[in-house]
Structure 1
């Protein structure tokens, strides 16, 4: 680059990362409504930050357990596989610097913003994964070396880390367009995010100007270049928030002609409220989950929204996480599987839970240990058999009883 600059007689300039990303990726510097929208600037929009945080916290807060299926005849039970290294890796500490909560939240943030989160698998001497090291989205690239074979090149501030095969990395994808890569969520919602950013900047500039719109300062006669500069500087000096309410003294028959609409005429409040809903729609997050609710929301409807958030927003992310963990980190089709514990999200009031537990136990639908497991309690001896109500018997017992009654009658 410097050699070409010398030949063409140009002065070289150091490019920022965003400018380089724009040249390489082709979308880093795309402007919407006059503002540049990428994953870094998008996070400065409070709605985007809140949506990404809600999704990331929803994948990081629930405890993540690894279970082992145990077959006992026709009965299949499960038990926490606490004796394998992957359990502590996923449940407690993903690497030397991050807990499981921190690692899962970081990976989900990367996936929600850029489409994919990537971590390098660090294996021990026995070949088992010992650590998962996350790599920022701007420090790794995916290359196809053949039709169905890809490699991942990872970098850091010191240079190339290495080139890794798919089995040497852990990936969590967002919405995908093909089998190898994901779609950039910020790029897909760029119009809504850009308009939200432009609206915030416009309203901030208006408040900076003391809520006084721009206009034309008209005077009689012709101004020289020096007079024009001095008058412009004087107007800027006597305007702004610090001079709000001060009288503006004008001479030479000067007039102030407003050329901008007010914040009320621009409907800033309505526009910003609509952009919150548009950004939430792009991320699949209910507005009430980020603290935005309209006048029609009630306490009862809020509870329904919270349940819908778990089903329609977090459940797809949880399924993406667990299937990736099962197939690429655990034993695939073996007895091990990962599962998020979301019972605290679905739990009702103490009264409702007590009534449900009593009904399920007395009807024999759940064993008492299964109900204890639902409440996060350890099983107790003798509570593994379902109860049978006195006024209910199974089919075989009913037939035997009817036969006995017939014999007695005879």
Structure 2
């Protein structure tokens, strides 16, 4: 029995990954930072991480998602007559809306590096549902040089093993083509220091902002006196005793051995950690409510526009290319697109001036401007206008409506 048990133990040991061994050692894959465990759950308890992840997830879930079909004349039309349109734009599974599913998948990808949903197909092999799987309940492994398998399970047991065509995967940063890098682990130093700083400051407030120190008295204390004095000193601490005088006898003295919150620069450290975490997630600090005194309304508006271009655009591209290739017809006429015009729209006055200028100069047709505003095209507005001072004068006898003149 001893040989058999040892053989089983050796076999199980060879199957453990580095992260699994680290879990047994310190309770978190990859260890601790500044004395605190850093993983996906503890990271979300940091307000900055939560703000960054929420900004990215909401930026991918809030815009309307449409499936378009390219037309023969080079235009496009919403493909509302295919089941994939409702699947992606309205209800991807029995329990979630498109907004909820996209936000959940983006949160998984932003935190753990990848998100996975199982494709449920109908009799015609078309995808009918997308079932998201929780992080930590699926993995991917190579079975040959260019072949992978996805294994999924839940609290009820093994769900199954799937090929790449049977799952929808949203990847974050990738080091290779199989697995993604865990964003929390990449930014663990900044996140760990932020958690440690918050705990340190919370402990100071719990002690009534009184620093630790040394209480000295004349003479020698026996064990009983030492225990009684220690208990008495602890009772004097806490926020409920702030401001109460401490009466000392036996020529007692208090020597502070800790620095104050001001000396520790808690405020400066916490501000720096906000910027460090935002830098790791590629989110501008002003998006999570962190702005310095130099920020103005004009600069804030520029930051909001930059957020769409530099933070959300890569995620939108990751989403749409995955949907085009893994859920739609790949290189065919169908493609998915986020409607982000409301995120980039200016004031009503600026939009009106732009629309009139583009239409009168003939750069945009009036239907193209209606499309930019999210409105359906109208008959007779597909011709660009030609300004009167740009007319060659060869079309005499025709009205402005016939020639498209402004």
TM-score by length of 1: 0.89
Q: Report what 1:41 is aligned to.
A: 42
Shift of 1:224: 2.0
Q: Report what 1:28 is aligned to.
A: 29
What stretches of structure 1 of length at least 5 have no aligned partner? 6-17, 402-410
Q: Report what 1:61 is aligned to.
A: 62
Whole-Å Cα distance in 2 between the matches of residues 390 and 192 of structure 1?
62
Q: Report what 2:273 is aligned to.
A: 275
Contact in 2 for aligned 1:122/1:131 (Cα 8 Å): yes
Match of residue 135, structure 1, among 133, 136, 149:
133
1:380-399 counterparts in 2 under 5 A?
Answer: 380-393=378-391
Shift of 1:380: 1.0
Whole-Å Cα distance in 2 between the matches of residues 393 and 134 of structure 1?
59
Q: Report what 2:296 is aligned to.
A: 298
Match of residue 330, structure 1, among 308, 319, 328:
328
Q: Provide, for residues 257-286 of structure 1, a one-character-per-residue CA deviation record: whole Å limited to 9, x for no partner.
A: 100000000010111001100000000000
State the aligned residue count: 381
Match of residue 97, structure 2, among 93, 99, 102:
99
* 1:288 correspondence with 2:286: yes
Shift of 1:162: 0.6
Shift of 1:365: 1.2
Whole-Å Cα distance in 2 between the matches of residues 241 and 19 of structure 1?
42
What stretches of structure 2 of length at least 5 have no aligned partner? 7-18, 397-406
Q: Report what 1:356 is aligned to.
A: 354
Q: Report what 2:51 is aligned to.
A: 50
Contact in 2 for aligned 1:66/1:80 (Cα 8 Å): yes
Whole-Å Cα distance in 2 between the matches of residues 300 and 22 of structure 1?
48
Contact in 2 for aligned 1:174/1:182 (Cα 8 Å): yes
Match of residue 202, structure 1, among 200, 203, 206:
200
Contact in 2 for aligned 1:218/1:255 (Cα 8 Å): yes
Contact in 2 for aligned 1:29/1:36 (Cα 8 Å): no
Q: Report what 1:370 is aligned to.
A: 368
Shift of 1:20: 7.9
Contact in 2 for aligned 1:122/1:129 (Cα 8 Å): yes
Q: Report what 2:211 is aligned to.
A: 213
Shift of 1:26: 9.2
Q: Report what 2:115 is aligned to.
A: 117
Contact in 2 for aligned 1:347/1:353 (Cα 8 Å): yes
Q: Report what 1:233 is aligned to.
A: 231
Q: Report what 1:150 is aligned to.
A: 148
Whole-Å Cα distance in 1 between the matches of residues 222 and 66 of structure 2?
77
Q: Report what 1:173 is aligned to.
A: 171
* 1:307 correspondence with 2:308: no
Shift of 1:330: 0.3
Cα distance change, pair 4–204 in 1 and its aligned pair in 2 (3 A): farther
RMSD of aligned C-alpha atoms? 2.0
Contact in 2 for aligned 1:51/1:280 (Cα 8 Å): yes
Contact in 1 for aligned 2:168/2:326 (Cα 8 Å): yes
Cα distance change, pair 23–165 in 1 and its aligned pair in 2 (3 A): farther
